[in-house]
Amino acid sequence: MITPLEITQLIQSKAIELGFTSMTVAKAEFMIPEAKRLEKWLHQGYHSGMQYMENHFDKRVDPTKLLPGTKTVISLSHNYFTHQKQKDPKAPKISMYAYGKDYHTVVKGKLSILMEYIKSQFGDVSMRSFVDSAPILERDWARRSGLGWIGKNTLLIHPKRGSYFFLAEILCDLEMHYDTPMKDYCGTCRKCIDACPTDALSTSGYVLDSNKCISYLTIEHKGDIPLEHKSKMNGWIFGCDICQKVCPWNRFSTPHDESDFISSNGMLDMTEKEWIELHEETFHELFKYSAIKRTKYSGLNRNIKFSITNDAE
């Protein structure tokens, strides 16, 4: 009879083979402390225009509501760190995670292969996978299973890998060997808090006000960017890496080896002038397979104009 530990080890081995950086496992259960924190965060309005965060609260804090019969939450990470850079130092800035193909598609494909493997090994297993989708608290499950700790910048951090990685989850009804949470190693460091130009992080960290977050403002936010953020965007037009760049733990980040995450569409070669003169037809051609298409042309153009205006003053 195969043991829960052996089941876990077999799946971990396959996950690493598929290119995932690491995999840890937690017991599926109602998340009492996380539910209280989420409720408080929502009540404070820190989710800004992301009204969907208010929906399906019960599913967000209880995986058995997402998939009845769930016994285990498998958390996986996938490295996206790279030494590739935008060539023009004056060009509007793109977050590193969007350099290559859309991670939703790439990682989801790997999850599908992993789930097929699980079924081939253990029969008719009930499963459901997620990549930054559906109402699931992915960072909290990753923390619960020891994939890392949630840092003062509210991102998951691993002491040997930093924070430049995507998260993914599989809910399943398999009994597995459960991991334990990792210690918080942020200590007295507050570099991320001090470096955030819009003061999106609370004074003691661990709480993010999306209303002020550059990543939120350039991707999720609808309509005009509030003028109070004028001159504070630091040139970012899609996402923001500031709190990761200053994090000491990211000195341990190593380049990924995923070909789909290598920028190959010429985006990194674009000059400031080319970004300013970007036409809608070029946008659709350039970002057809990119996460950047999420902003749509109108959103990216808004960000570019706002960023360039800031830089000019």
Just list the catalytic residues.
132
Contact between residue 297 and residue 284 where contact means Cβ atoms under 8 Å apart: yes
DSSP 262: S
Count of C-beta atoms within a 10 Å radius of residue 140: 22
Q: Which of 186, 178, 177, 179 is nearest to 149 (CA)?
A: 186
Contact between residue 115 and residue 173 where contact means Cβ atoms under 8 Å apart: no
**Would you put residue 68 in left (φ > 0), alpha (ψ -120 to 50) or beta?**
beta
Amino acid at 286: L
Element (H, E) at 72: strand 72-79
User: For residues 160 and 304, what is the distance between their CA atoms, to the nearest angstrom?
Assistant: 35
